Amino acid sequence: MFMFDFLQHYSDNTRLWIYQSPRAFSAEELIWIDREGGLFAESWKTHGTSMKALVKVLYDRFLIIAADEDVTGSSGCSVDSSVRFIKGIEQQTGVNLMDRMLVYYMDHQGNPVSFHFHDLGKLIEQGVLTPVTNVFNPLVTTKPALLNQWLMPLERSWLANFVTG
């Protein structure tokens, strides 16, 4: 649970956006993202009202934006500004954070590994992925979902629908 301590003062109605990097960010990039993310979160507004928000990178490759909707709900304009923030990170780092065809699993050493969705069957055939391999769910959008459904065995994940048996 310690990994999610950054959300301890955020309600269960905290909305999340998770962006996945195809590679680990460098130490310099992480420092820059932390600084820029802090500035973004401090200035992020919806309809002129400041939001209780934060930006956090986990495993050096998952960028999470959180907004506590119990304090102030996000709007279309605030979401648009967060996308502009993400585009700026992409431009600065040279990574595509919006490639939804990349899938991530946790290897035996506890490191996230990515693969293209189209390679799912091949990785299962090769035994790289098994029903109990932990995979990341990029579709979580709330604090409770992050805590309980972000990392789970493939057999219980959204990918199970694509595995033929």
pLDDT tens digits, one per residue of 44-72: 866 666 778 999 999 999 999 999 877 56
Domain count, the chain: 2
Q: Are residues 25 and 69 in the same domain?
A: yes
pTM of the predicted model as reported, rounded to 2 decimal places: 0.88
95-122, pLDDT tens digit by residue? 999 998 999 999 999 999 999 999 999 9
Range of the domain at 129: 102-138+151-162
Residue type, 150: W
Q: Are residues 133 and 70 in the same domain?
A: no
Q: Which residues of 110-130 are buried (b: 16+ CB within 10 A; e: fewer)?
A: eebeebeeeebeebbeeeebe
Q: Would you state the structure tokens that stand for residue 36, as one six-digit string?
A: 């820029």
